[in-house]
Each structure stands twice: as C-alpha cells, then as structure tokens.
Amino acid sequence: MYKYLVLLFIPFVFAQVSCKQSNVEGQEQTGRTSGELIFPLNIQKGGSYQSVDQIRAQALTIIDHRIQTDGEPMAMLTFAYWWPEFVFDGSQMSDIGQYDGYWLKFNEDFTYRYGRDDRIFGNGKYHFTLDSNALIMLDTDIESEPKVWTANYNGRAMALVGTHEYGVNNGMQIKLVALDEEPL
C-alpha cells in the first residue's frame, strides 16, 4: 500500500511543480504571526475521537513505553535540521519555496522543536520505530492532536506519509530535506 502511495505522490509533485499553480490562495493562515503559514506538522483536520486530552494521554503513554523498550534515537533523524520542501495536506500541494525558512529538529532525547528562521514555534516528544518506520509525534500544544507518520528515508531526504492512526493526518504527505547548516 505504501509503495503505491509513494508512486502516486511522485508524479503528483512533478505535475504540481511544472504547472506552478498557487494552491494557498484562500487557505486560512493560522501561523504564529499575521500572514504566516502554520508549520506543516500542525495542520489540523479533526479526528474522530471524543476528547483531545484523552487521545494525547494515550499517545504520550505509547511514546513513553516505546522509549523505555526501544530507547535508542535514530541518527538518521537527529543528524540534521529538516526543511519541509513540499507539503500535501490531503487536498492541496504547496508551492515551491512556500515553506522556505521553516525547519524541524529531532533531538537525541526524543524531543523535537520546529520554527522558522531564528524563531522557535513549538516543540514536542517523538519516537521512531525502524521496524515499521512509524514516527509518532506529540506537540506540547495541548490543543494539537498526536500524529503518526510512516517515515520513508533516503539519505538526505525523508517523506512523511500520514496514517489513519488518529485520523488527523491521514492523506497528508511531507517531503523533508536535510539542511546543510543550522537555520538559527
């Protein structure tokens, strides 16, 4: 199934890039400052659960358990800052350069932080399981739902494919590219 999603995603990216369509006009801008996009990992679609608090507590329990049983951070995540080159939110593809300056940093203590240029927008806790390529992320923002991604890694690039686990990022895809230097 994931192979088919990746195969479908690649031509879609090329079609969007070659057409240079502006897909963000009319999109609600809910970033940290006026007119600024929200960080791609925090795009909300609304899950089918009853309580954000309950689902966040469940995700935190899962992350803590996985850290206790598989407590080695993956160097493939922590070696660099990651830039979201393309974001497909389930219905629209981002434009080239739309997320310039944005970054994501996974730390060896199973925390992450993200921001734009020299500003930090937020942080959270994560765990990555190499066996299933499952990346679970929980932002410290109490209104943010947890997300589970399938991380397809290829050296200096990584594609995060949203899963149906919590229903909030199903259909989303983010291509992350390793940055050569810190954006701060």
Q: Where are the domains of the chain?
A: 2-178
CATH class of the structural domain 2-178 = mainly beta
Using CA atoms, how far residue 7 sits from 3, 18, 54, in Å, is 6, 17, 35
DSSP code of residue 48? S
Q: Which residues touch 82 (CB under 8 Å, ≥6 apart)? A: 103, 104, 105, 106, 158, 176, 177, 178, 179
Which neighbouring-strand residues pair with 103? 115
> If DSSP states are collapsed to H, E and C, what string results for 83-135?
EEEEEECCCCECCCCCCCCEEEEECCCCEEEEEECCEEEEEEEEEEECCCCEE
Q: What is the pLDDT of residue 45?
A: 62
Q: What is the pLDDT of residue 149?
A: 95
Cβ contact 113:39 at 8 Å: no
CB neighbours of residue 104 within 10 Å: 23
Give the ranges where the chain is alpha helix by DSSP (H): 2-19, 52-69, 75-78
Residue 137 has pLDDT above 80, yes or no: yes
DSSP code of residue 15? H
Extract the tokens encoding 107: 């730390």
Q: What is the pLDDT of residue 23?
A: 33
Q: What is the pLDDT of residues 66-93, one digit of tens each?
A: 999 988 899 999 999 999 999 998 889 9
Q: What does pTM read for this prediction?
A: 0.78
